[in-house]
Amino acid sequence: MSNSLEPLLFYVGKSFVDRAKKVFSLGFIVRKPLLQILRSMGVQLVEMDRDETKRALEEFSRTSGITITYAQLLKEITLSMLTPTALLRAAKGETITFLGTYDLGFSMFIEIFTAISRAFRPTINTYIWLVIPKSSEGSGKAIQLLRDIRDRVGVLPITPDEWEAVQPVTEKLSKSGFTVKGLTENLWVSI
């Protein structure tokens, strides 16, 4: 995957998070696994809430000299993922919850939790890690950081079964007009 200035979306399944809890000594209950993984790796970051994230994305789109399409994409992210309510109902039985944004200086990571209820089967819990690089170099650093996390955990970030189960969320986000690289493809295989 080339290093460019475009947002990237990565899906992370429950089995990966469960294994990461052990690898990174995160404890039994983990509300924001990406945040805790980054902290356990010693990554310096600033945690941002929803309102701070909106302001940062708007400011970044105005001042960074990025292309208009990238600025429009950042606005789409803000509208699609960071609604005024903490919980967005994607469809019956599917929820998307904003957990937080982490500014690493070179990139922003937005962490989102999805839950898909299924009749007579366990709920599918998946995390979405949205990476917004601030420069081409930041893109490279973000991808390397994700590789390091994946390699240290030692299992697939999303299994084929989890990938199949998350398709209703990807379809709903696609139909809403939200477009970002990785929305409908598993980017873990290309980094």
Q: Structural domain boundaries of the chain? A: 8-190
Q: pLDDT by residue (tens digit) across 154-172? A: 999 999 988 988 887 788 7
DSSP secondary structure of 66-98: --HHHHHHHHHHHHHH--SSSEEEEETTEEEEE
User: Distance between the two ends of the chain, CA-based, in angstroms?
Assistant: 6
The stretches in the chain having pLDDT less than 50 are 68, 84-91
pTM, full prediction:
0.85
